[in-house]
Structures are given as structure tokens and as C-alpha cells.
Structure 1
Amino acid sequence: MEDVLIAVIAGCEIGFWVVLATGLLARYPLRLRRTGATLLLCVPLVDLVLLAATAVDLRNGATASAAHGLAAAYLGYSVAFGHSMVRWADEHFAHRFAGGPPPRGRPAYGRARTRHEWREFGKAAVATAVACGLLLAMIVLVGDADRSQALRGWLARLGAILAIWSLWPITHTLWPAKPKERARRG
């Protein structure tokens, strides 16, 4: 079943982008604003498919594997970063197809960049919390320490990822990026 769950994870990632692209195509080039908005509201349903597939697999007696841990991590990061990814795509589509303003980029330097990095770290912390919550729920659902061993390993992995991620905003806080000087022409 591990291969099937990996395929479901891949299918959900593809599904995320397909539903997002379909919603944006309906919203901008086709000018079907309500249809586009409805499709964009359906993007989180893709996550529910993965959540259901993972729960059903474990409920049917599967031994938890790396695939189940990956599913929890995927869902955590999707919850935390999904909205900003949809907003990013919406800004690009609006600019390209509806004459909207140019998309906002990441600040290049200064306090704005530092705030940006801390905001992204906050999303990563939310992602880790959601993923760890799902992992703990899976461990309880399985109810057998031997069958849920792989999930406990994911708790440590996600904590390590978050610790490494924290270095980026800390670095920007201590040594903020400065504007590059323009080369003098002479």
C-alpha cells in the first residue's frame, strides 16, 4: 500500500495545480469570475482526499511507513503555505491576463526582508505543528507502537527541518541584507 499512498500524494500535488490553474483560467482569460472563485475554493479539497486515503489505509491495519509520514508533512505544509501559493499564482494571472499590477516580489533587503523571512518561518512553524499533530493522531489511530514506529521518526525530522529553517530569519535579523551599490560609470 505504500506505493499506492505515494501515488496518492503525487496525484494530490498534481491535483492542487490542476484545480488552481483551472480556477485561474476560468477567472481571468474566460472571465467567469464566480466559477473561478468556486474552483479556487475547492483547492483545499485535494488535501481532504489525501487525509482520507491516509486515514483509511491506517484504519485498515496498515503498518505506518515513510509514506504516511510524508503525507502528514505534505498536508502540514499545504495548510500553512497553500493560501500564499494561491495568492502568488493569482497575482501572476491577474497581471498577465487582466491587466493587474505587477506581482509583489520578496523584499530584497532591510527590515522588510527580515519581516518577510520571519513570516515565512512562522508558516513553517505552523506547517510543522499541523504535520506533527497529524502524526500524533495517526500514532493514536494505529494504537500499536510497533506499527507506528516510522511516524515517530517523522516527528524528529520535521523538528530538524524547522530548526534549520530558523537559521534563515535569524541570519537576516543579525545581518540584514543591504542594498547593493550600483557600479559607477566613468
Structure 2
Amino acid sequence: MIVAFILAAEIAFWAVLAAGLAVRYLLRRRRASTVMLLAVPLIDVALLTATAWDIRNGGEPSYAHGLAALYLGFTIAYGHSVIVWADAHAAHRFGGGPRPPRIQRYGKERTAYEWRLWTRTLIAGVIAVLVIEAMILVIDDAGGTTPLRGTEGAALRAVAIHAAVALYYTVWPGKAPASEVVPDAEARAR
């Protein structure tokens, strides 16, 4: 049941996002669109409620419950930035807005970008672990919480892997190929 609810929450997230952006840019109803986009967190509340209800009513703790916690952590940490990203692209495509800036592939800008993403991943991991720990407290059965502990491990591994990626860009930020380098003002003046 929880897996189906997680899938429904994911589909609902993208459906509400698409509908909100369509109302904003195709129907030109910004206020109605804002109200729709503000409803996105209600999807997370519904998922959290369903997960808590299932566990409280004797549902066997499973990886699906842990997955719900991971999903919740991800949507809280990344949800706003995903909405902003989608809004910028919809504004460009349908609203005549400027082209969204590209993510730098090299240098300090890329390093800073990776550390910002890692911070979001850390927040997602912490939220997921806290939700899982709350589930474990509610269950109060050490033997039945093994799948939840496994999901905690997955959250912590994701944080560690993302830290390794950010560290890689810190140590080896890379340089733009010569074809992408824009000469500075002095070089152009010569």
C-alpha cells in the first residue's frame, strides 16, 4: 500500500507542478498558479499521514516505509528548487522570459554548485533519518525495525557519495576547454 501511495505522491507532485505552471503561463493566472504551487507540500503531508497511519495500525515495517521517509526528505530539501527550476524553464518557453542560466561545468562555480547540492542532500538525509527514527519509536519493536535501519543506511550512503562528488570537484575543479574560454577585456583590447 505504501509503495502505491509513494508513486501516487510522485505523480501528484509532477501533475500539480505542471498544472500550476500551465495556469501561470498558458492561462496567465499568476495568483491561481501560486495557490496551486503552494499546495505541493500537502502531498508530502498526505504521504506522511498515510505512512504513520499504516505503521500505527500494525503495518509490518518495510523498506517501503523507509522509502516514504527518503521521499519526504528529498521533497522537503529539493522540492522548492525543483519548482523554481521548472518555473524558470516554463517562463522561458511559454512566458517570454530569459533563458535560464546553464550550470557551469568547470571551475569554482561548479565546485560551489556541487557543495550547495550536497547541503540539500544532507538536509534530505537528516530529515529521512529523523522520520525513520520517529517510526522506530512508534513501533517499539527492535526486531521489526531492520528494514527501516537499512533505509537509514541508504540515506547516509547517499549523503556520503554526494560528499565524494563535491569533494572531487573541489580537488579537481577542471578547466574549460580552450574553445569555451572567453578572452578577458585586456586580451580583446590588444
Task: Report the TM-score when normalising by structure 2.
Answer: 0.92
1:180 positional shift: 1.0
Who is 1:115 aligned against?
A: 112
- The answer (yes or no) to whether the contact 1:63–1:148 under 8 Å persists in 2 is no
Question: Does residue 12 of the first structure (1) align with residue 9 of the second (2)?
Answer: yes
Question: Number of paired residues?
Answer: 180
C-alpha separation in 1, matches of 2:66 and 2:105: 35
- The answer (yes or no) to whether the contact 1:109–1:177 under 8 Å persists in 2 is yes
Deviations 1:79-105, CA, capped at 9 Å, x for gaps: 101011000100011001111010122
Deviations 1:32-63, CA, capped at 9 Å, x for gaps: 11100000101111111110100000000112
Who is 2:155 aligned against?
A: 158
Question: Does residue 174 of the first structure (1) align with residue 174 of the second (2)?
Answer: no
C-alpha separation in 2, matches of 1:16 and 1:8: 12
Residue among 62, 65, 68 paired with 2:62 = 65
1:148 positional shift: 1.9
C-alpha separation in 2, matches of 1:92 and 1:84: 12
Deviations 1:135-180, CA, capped at 9 Å, x for gaps: 0000001111122221111111211121111111101111112111
C-alpha separation in 1, matches of 2:110 and 2:44: 30
User: What stretches of structure 1 move > 6 A for 4+ residues in a row?
Assistant: none
Which residues of 2 match residues 90-105 of structure 1 at below 5 A?
Answer: 90-105=87-102
C-alpha separation in 1, matches of 2:96 and 2:36: 21
Residue among 39, 43, 46 paired with 1:42 = 39
- RMSD over aligned Cα, in angstroms? 1.1
SS for the counterpart of 1:44 is helix
C-alpha separation in 2, matches of 1:54 and 1:146: 19
Question: Does residue 79 of the first structure (1) align with residue 76 of the second (2)?
Answer: yes
Bigger mean CA offset, 123-132 vs 103-112: 103-112
Bigger mean CA offset, 151-160 vs 57-66: 151-160
SS for the counterpart of 1:182 is helix
Residue among 22, 26, 31 paired with 2:28 = 31
More helix by percentage? 2
Give unpaired runs (5+ residues) of structure 1: none
Give percent identity, aligned residues only.
Answer: 45
Letter in 2 for 1:93: A
C-alpha separation in 1, matches of 2:179 and 2:147: 52
Task: Report the TM-score when normalising by structure 1.
Answer: 0.94
C-alpha separation in 2, matches of 1:38 and 1:109: 38
Who is 1:89 aligned against?
A: 86
